[in-house]
């Protein structure tokens, strides 16, 4: 289907029927028609693309447009403009006039398009007005601004709400990924230990019977003292893995020569404690040659069982720590506004992002006796997550992340410093703008730093600044220590 060509008369009638141009005089309409360039869009034909420089203001005469953006590799529909739905009530409060024009926001901010617009349905006719013509339109046709400004205000507010929702989803996704990765190790340890514990207990019972049948009273006392001493040993210090492997081999060879049934199990258990053959021989004095194999098998079973139960004991608190850190990070069971130590949120963020920080040295530089803040810790945790996550990506698995916190001039100052590739000088003034990103296409929404800026400046009446050169990027957050009542709070997304 092809749209009928627009004659100047039909174009004049179509433009005058729009709310945007309804109040124009005859002379203004004559000028508008003279600068209008009708264009027909086919289904799916692109009007403008995300990231392209904004060059035109577009007015929709008939048909529809669909506005999309690629977020994390997926194309999402941001909004639709349709002349058929213009009079319908929108659930999100979209003004009727907003269906009829697009492109004014990036023109006014001298930026680029932040989404892609394409035809929705055939015979969609759009009129494109270049930047100089658009600004002349605002000065010549005063009634245009009266319609355009409320739509502009709604779009800015709508983009903020969408930014908060997307950034919240990003933060929850980061939280879920970090939690899943961190829970994998203790959960796997629990599963493995639970699976191996039953046969280990069977071996312990069997070797106990054999040892009891072979040993005399004095020999039992020797082994009882040895197992008690092993239970009280402190965790071994970091040792040379080559030396430990040599000790384990020597222990296994000796245990096999004595006739032990599981020499490898005994050798691994003893060497893992940082012990050698000489230490074991000294403490086994008094056990006869005939009873020694049964003693070694029982000792191996004891060490195996203790190692498995130690894994279970270590995994439980680790899981509890992760759950507690996640609860505190998300601020799930507390009032939204509260007094809190800022370092708690920083530490919980490090726990959540531990997997992304693998290979990166983390340095904490917290001043002692820091005062507590009054605010919204759950929202600030989104800030810490964005800043630390960006720093980790910039360092690509190698470098130093430094977190600093200090009280200064009535404010809490938190600094996130990384030794990564840095932010390009040309990009630095724009990093807090919505949808602006220096990451590759599909790897970022450009909302994280914008949301962080809003949370810090409007929710907490603070400031967020950045300075960067290659190898030295510093994001500095200043938060008032004394509570204050924001006059322009960010609308909170659900």
Q: What is the DSSP string of 83-132?
A: SSSTTSPPTT---GGGGGEE-HHHHHHT-B-SSEEEE-SSSEEEEEEEHH
Beta strands at 116-119 and 64-71: parallel, antiparallel or unpaired: antiparallel
Q: Is the residue at 190 inside a domain?
A: yes
Residues 174-194: tens digit of each pLDDT? 666 666 666 666 777 777 777
Contact 370, 343 (CB under 8 A): yes
| Element at 207 (helix H, strand E) | helix 142-214
Q: Is the residue at 326 inside a domain?
A: no
What's the pLDDT score for residue 178? 60
Number of domains in the chain: 3
What's the pLDDT score for residue 434? 62
User: What distance in Å separates the CA atoms of residue 294 and residue 300, rounded to the nearest whole number?
Assistant: 10
Q: Is the residue at 181 inside a domain?
A: no
What's the pLDDT score for residue 185? 65
What's the pLDDT score for residue 325? 57
Of residues 386 and 365, the one with the higher pLDDT is: 365
Residues 278-306: tens digit of each pLDDT? 999 999 999 999 999 999 999 999 998 98
What's the pLDDT score for residue 429? 82
Please state the rounded mean pLDDT for residues 22-47. 90
Number of Cβ within a 10 Å radius of residue 153: 11
- Cα-based angle 376, 378, 381 (whole degrees, multiple of 5): 110
CATH of the domain at 48: 2.60.120.10
At which of 291, 320, 349 does a domain end?
320
Domain co-membership, 300 together with 340: no
- pLDDT above 90 covers a percentage of the chain that reads 34
Domain co-membership, 260 together with 200: yes
Range of the domain at 397: 336-480
Of residues 43 and 76, the one with the higher pLDDT is: 43
Gap between the terminal Cα atoms of the chain: 43
- Give which of 25, 30, 39, 27 is closest to 8, Cα–Cα: 30
- Give which of 463, 455, 493, 468 is closest to 480, Cα–Cα: 463
pLDDT band at 451 (very low <50, low <70, confident <90, very high): confident
Of residues 252 and 313, the one with the higher pLDDT is: 252
What's the pLDDT score for residue 494? 30
Q: Is the residue at 471 inside a domain?
A: yes
What's the pLDDT score for residue 238? 62
Domain co-membership, 36 together with 130: yes
Domain co-membership, 340 together with 471: yes
Q: Is the residue at 237 inside a domain?
A: yes
Of residues 158 and 52, the one with the higher pLDDT is: 52
* Structural tokens at position 482: 């004394």
**Predicted confidence (pLDDT) at residue 359 exceeds the cutoff of 50:** yes
Q: Is the residue at 130 inside a domain?
A: yes
**Predicted confidence (pLDDT) at residue 436 exceeds the cutoff of 70:** no
Burial class (CB in 10 A: 0-12, 13-18, 19+), 376: buried
**Predicted confidence (pLDDT) at residue 417 exceeds the cutoff of 90:** yes
Least confidently predicted of 239-243, 302-306, 463-467: 239-243
At which of 140, 156, 174 does a domain end?
140
DSSP 36: -
Domain co-membership, 348 together with 445: yes
What's the pLDDT score for residue 333? 45
Q: Is the residue at 389 inside a domain?
A: yes
Each as own residue / partner, the long-range contacts of residues 106-113 (CB below 8 Å, 24 or more positions apart, any chain) are: 106/54, 107/54, 107/56, 107/57, 107/131, 107/134, 108/152, 110/54, 111/54, 111/433, 112/51, 112/52, 112/53, 112/54, 113/48, 113/49, 113/50, 113/51, 113/52, 113/53, 113/54
DSSP string spanning 261-283?
S-HHHHHHHHHHTT--HHHHHHH
Q: Is the residue at 166 inside a domain?
A: no
Beta strands at 463-469 and 472-480: parallel, antiparallel or unpaired: antiparallel
User: What distance in Å separates the CA atoms of residue 100 and residue 126, rounded to the nearest whole number?
Assistant: 9
Residues 328-345: tens digit of each pLDDT? 555 544 556 788 999 998
pLDDT band at 2 (very low <50, low <70, confident <90, very high): very low
Domain co-membership, 346 together with 471: yes
What's the pLDDT score for residue 122? 65
What's the pLDDT score for residue 371? 93
């Amino acid at each position: 289907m092809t749209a009928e060509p627009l004659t100047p008369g039909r174009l004049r009638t179509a433009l005058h029927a729009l709310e945007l141009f309804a109040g124009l005089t005859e002379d203004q309409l004559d000028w508008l028609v003279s600068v209008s360039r009708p264009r027909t869009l086919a289904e799916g034909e692109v009007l403008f693309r995300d990231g392209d420089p904004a060059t035109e203001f577009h007015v929709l005469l008939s048909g529809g447009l669909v506005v999309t953006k690629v977020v994390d590799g997926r194309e999402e529909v941001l909004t639709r403009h349709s002349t058929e739905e213009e009079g319908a009530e929108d659930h999100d409060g979209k003004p009727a006039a907003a269906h009829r024009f697009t492109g004014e926001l990036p023109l006014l901010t001298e930026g680029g398009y932040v989404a892609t617009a394409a035809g929705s349905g055939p015979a969609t006719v759009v009129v494109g007005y270049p930047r100089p013509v658009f600004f002349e339109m605002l000065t010549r046709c005063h009634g245009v601004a009266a319609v355009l400004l409320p739509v502009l205000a709604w779009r800015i507010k709508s983009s903020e709400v969408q930014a908060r929702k997307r950034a919240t989803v990003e933060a929850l996704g980061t939280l879920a990924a970090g939690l899943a990765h961190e829970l994998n190790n203790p959960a796997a340890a629990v599963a493995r230990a639970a699976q191996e514990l039953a046969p280990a207990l069977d071996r312990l019972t069997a070797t106990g019977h054999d040892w009891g049948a072979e040993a005399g009273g004095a020999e039992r006392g020797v082994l009882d003292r040895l197992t008690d001493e092993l239970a009280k040993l402190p965790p071994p210090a970091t040792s040379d893995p080559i030396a430990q492997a040599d000790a384990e081999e020597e222990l296994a060879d000796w245990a096999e020569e004595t006739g032990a049934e599981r020499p490898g199990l005994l050798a691994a258990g003893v060497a893992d404690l940082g012990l050698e053959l000489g230490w074991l021989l000294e403490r086994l004095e008094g056990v006869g040659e005939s009873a020694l194999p049964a003693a070694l098998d029982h000792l191996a079973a004891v060490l195996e069982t203790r190692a498995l139960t130690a894994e279970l004991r270590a995994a439980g608190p680790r899981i509890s720590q992760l759950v507690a850190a996640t609860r505190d990070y998300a601020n799930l069971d507390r009032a939204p506004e509260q007094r809190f130590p800022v370092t708690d949120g920083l530490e919980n963020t490090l726990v959540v992002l531990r997997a992304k920080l693998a290979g990166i040295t983390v340095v904490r530089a917290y001043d002692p006796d820091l005062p507590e803040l009054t605010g919204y810790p759950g929202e600030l945790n989104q800030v810490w997550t964005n800043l630390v996550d960006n720093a980790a990506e910039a360092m690509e698995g190698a470098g130093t992340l430094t977190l600093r916190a200090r009280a200064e001039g009535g404010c809490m100052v938190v600094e996130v410093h990384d030794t990564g590739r840095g932010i390009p000088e040309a990009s630095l003034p724009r990093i807090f703008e919505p949808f602006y990103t220096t990451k590759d296409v599909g790897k970022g929404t450009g909302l994280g730093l914008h949301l962080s800026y809003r949370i810090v400046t409007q929710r907490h009446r603070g400031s967020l600044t950045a300075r960067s050169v290659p190898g030295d990027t510093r994001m500095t957050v200043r938060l008032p220590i004394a509570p204050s009542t924001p006059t322009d709070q960010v609308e909170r997304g659900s």
